[in-house]
Amino acid sequence: MRKYFLIIVTIILILGLAGCIKDPPIPDEGVEPKNPFVMNSYFTDSMIIQQNQPINIFGKSEKGVLIEVSLFKKEASEPIQSAKTFVDENGDWKVVFSPISASFQLYKLKVTDSVHTKEINDILVGEVWLTSGEKNMAWPMRYTKDASSYIINNENKKYIRYFSQDHYPNNDPSQQPIGDPQFDFSNGRWNSANSLKSLDASAISYIFACELFEELNKGSAKVPVGFIESAVAESNIHAWLPKSKIDSNPYLRNYLLTKNLYQIDNLGDKNYNQTANLYNNKINPLKGINLKGVIWYQGLSDIGYYEYYNEALRSLIDAWREELSPNLAFIVVGEHAYEKENLAGFRRAQILGTNYHLNVLIVPTYDLEFEYEYQNGYEMEKPDVSSPYYPINKIELAQRIEKAALSLVYNSNEKYFSPRLHNYTVSLTENTITLYFANTKNLRVKLLGEIEELAKPRPVEEYQTITNLILVLVDDTEIEAEVTVNENIIKIYYEDIKQIKSVKYAYLDLCADSNLFNEMDLPVLPFYLNIKWYHN
């Protein structure tokens, strides 16, 4: 008995002593690393840092290693900012420098541990945008009509740069990592807009950056512009959402399960389109890197799933802001006019998905005159096939996005926002429905390619017809609405207003002939309004 007692006491003493033993303290100079530290490939030569926001520099190494980071002006021997930090128990390290305003001043970054050193040169501070989505966003300059006017050896182009990455490791879709968020991109690198490599850059992104650069650098201002390319053709929105966001939203998760889209297994060439895969590989590596905003141009692959896209888009905006920056501006590009089932419902879902966030804007495209065929004498390369889904002329759209960004983010005096239905009232005594629109002072109708102001309020018998403004009656008959217009208000008349259950505008796949615009020549956003007094 005594023998067992002694054994038990001995075990207790050993466990107690083990609990008191702690890791040896880390020396002031840190532990000596066995391997070089690693950094996200965003931190490479020619990078652009977002101005006027904290500068986060981070990487990975072994626990206890002392990392020193110094930021210099080019050719200077003394740093303007410097900091030291120890690598934590998870192998992560991070330093934060104070914000810097934009200029054409070049900087260099020096990162060291007790053994290894890395220098990052030719750094600029300016404006950085993330451009993401699918094929229309990824569409390259080399296939874009009249893009050669932007690709010129201009001295200022060296202040426009873009970060590109491979779609997949070794350009092999089956090698796309699955399952876990990644620390780094696949072959991420910075490029100058002043090079022939720009032929492979996203046309929307490149032209947007050039236009923004010209606008921000009027007068004596010196503001470099950069963009991060992150678009994959034929990608669905669920691949761009973090798995945690999907799993915490029963509606999203159940919808994806019902449609057999909740995939986390190896799908070979379709690995990129699994649940959260593109988020893991292309968005998660941006955590900690401050940006100005996002341009999101995606939708064709999800038109068949339009029922849930409203919630999916809201969740994407929320998730990216939670992971990247709470004040991130979002510009969502709407789908243009082409013939595809459920496209009208999808456009509505896009618009609804942007309704509940601040600093979010949707840019419509259904009114733009796109081209899909290359003419003889076209000076650049041509893709193998043409398609009504992928226009070859991107310049006007990129310019529209840039003007929207100026209004949303840069406090432009010109409020370049599309009108949207804001509210409505019903009068049973007058047999009228009154529609109120935001983002306009004077609604106008486009006639014969020109903008003409609609007439002031007129007698009921002198109606003004607006193309594709439709009344849906209780028996599902559809008729054109007869209206009067006063500034930002449209009043609809009908002999028995109780017979109207819905009002819709531009709610068609092919709706390019819809003719209601604001004074900025921007089209009214499509809508489908269910009259509450009827549906209740």
Q: How far is 66 from 93, CA to CA, in rounded Å?
A: 9
Instruction: Provide the residue ranges of all domains of the chain, joining segments of one domain with +.
Output: 38-127, 128-408, 420-535
Q: How far is 498 from 491, CA to CA, in rounded Å?
A: 15
Radius of gyration, alpha carbons of the chain:
28
Residue-wise pLDDT for 128-150, tens only, equals 999 999 999 999 999 998 888 88
**Predicted pLDDT at 420:** 95
- DSSP-assigned letters across all residues of 139-202: -BGGGSTTGGGT-S--GGGGGEEEEE--SSGGG-GGG---SS--SS-SS-EEEESSSGGGGGSB
Question: What pairs with residue 452 in β-bridges?
Answer: 445
Q: Which residues fall within 8 angstroms of residue 37, CB to CB, at 6 or more apart? A: 59, 60, 61, 65, 67, 87, 93, 111, 113, 116, 118
Domains 128-408 and 420-535 share a fold: no
Q: How far is 254 from 247, CA to CA, in rounded Å?
A: 9
| Architecture of domain 38-127 in this structure | Sandwich (2.60)
Q: CB–CB of 104/31 below 8 Å?
A: no
**Predicted pLDDT at 405:** 97
Q: How many CA atoms lie within 13 A of 520 on its CB side?
A: 18
Q: Which position has the token pair 């559809």?
A: 478
pLDDT per residue rounded down to tens, the chain (536 residues): 555 555 554 555 444 544 544 555 566 667 889 999 999 999 999 999 999 999 999 999 999 999 999 999 998 999 999 999 999 999 999 999 999 999 999 999 999 998 999 999 999 999 999 999 999 999 999 999 888 888 876 677 899 999 999 877 777 766 666 678 999 998 999 998 877 778 899 999 999 999 999 999 998 899 999 999 999 999 999 999 999 999 999 999 999 999 988 876 666 666 778 899 999 999 999 999 999 999 999 999 999 999 999 999 999 999 999 999 988 999 999 999 999 999 999 999 999 999 888 899 999 999 999 888 765 444 555 665 568 899 999 999 999 999 999 999 998 788 899 999 999 999 999 999 999 999 998 888 876 444 455 544 444 444 457 899 999 999 999 999 888 888 899 999 999 999 999 999 999 999 999 999 999 999 999 999 999 865 55
**Predicted pLDDT at 197:** 78
pTM attached to this predicted model: 0.90
| Architecture of domain 420-535 in this structure | Sandwich (2.60)
CATH H-level, domain 128-408: superfamily: SGNH hydrolase (3.40.50.1110)
